[in-house]
Structure 1
Amino acid sequence: MTRHQRIEVNPNIMFGKPVIKGTRITVEQILRKLAAGKTSEQIVADHPRLTIDDIRAAEAFAADYLADEEIAFG
């Protein structure tokens, strides 16, 4: 997987889930908010420590993660 500068995976932070560096905000939380219809600007307003670039980094991380997944067709 590509290295993502803004994403951190540490077993001592949020049980090892990928987070935005320097926060306890997980990539999953960001993606769920986007899926629920929130804009990047609304997410940043809810979490002032985040930037628009952090939101983009979370999306890129998820895309790269999925690109590396093996898919079983059954």
Structure 2
Amino acid sequence: MNWRDHIHSDPDVLLGKPIIKGTRISVELILELYGQGWTEQMILESYPRLTQDSLRAVFNYLSECLRQELYFSFKASA
């Protein structure tokens, strides 16, 4: 899967944050929902314009960002 088929960034939409194409739903929101314990089914029911492929694209996008070292460094706490 090519995440670029599902995700893009437009400076005029959500300040240029990466979003699911055809929506104003950000990659950040999808990750937050998963982090809060939402399931794929819950997300798809709450946001009917999304598809399973668009949700998978979020993780492919994130994976590529990490491979390209587009992340924030932090120190582990004790």
TM-score with structure 2 setting the length: 0.82
Structure 1 partner of 2:26? 26
Cα RMSD (Å) of the superposition? 2.1
Letter of the 1:48 counterpart: P
> Structure 1: where are the runs of 5+ without partners?
none
1:1-74 equivalences in 2 (<5 Å): 4-69=4-69
The higher radius of gyration belongs to 2
The CA distance in 2 between the partners of 1:6 and 1:22, in whole Å, is 9
Residues 68 and 12 of structure 1: is their aligned pair in 2 closer, same or farther, counting only changes over 3 Å? same
Cα distance, 1:3 vs. partner?
6.1
List runs of 5+ in structure 2 lacking aligned partners: none
CA contact (8 A) 1:6 1:21 kept: yes
What is the CA deviation profile of residues 18-61 of structure 1, one whole-angstrom value per residue up to 9, with x for unaligned ones?
00001000000001111111111110111011011111001110
Distance 2:74 2:46 in 1: 39
Distance in 1 of aligned mates of 2:57 and 2:22: 14
Distance in 2 (alpha carbons) for counterparts of 1:4 and 1:58: 10
Q: How far off is 1:73 after superposition?
A: 8.3
Alpha-carbon separation, structure 2, partners of 1:70 and 1:7: 16
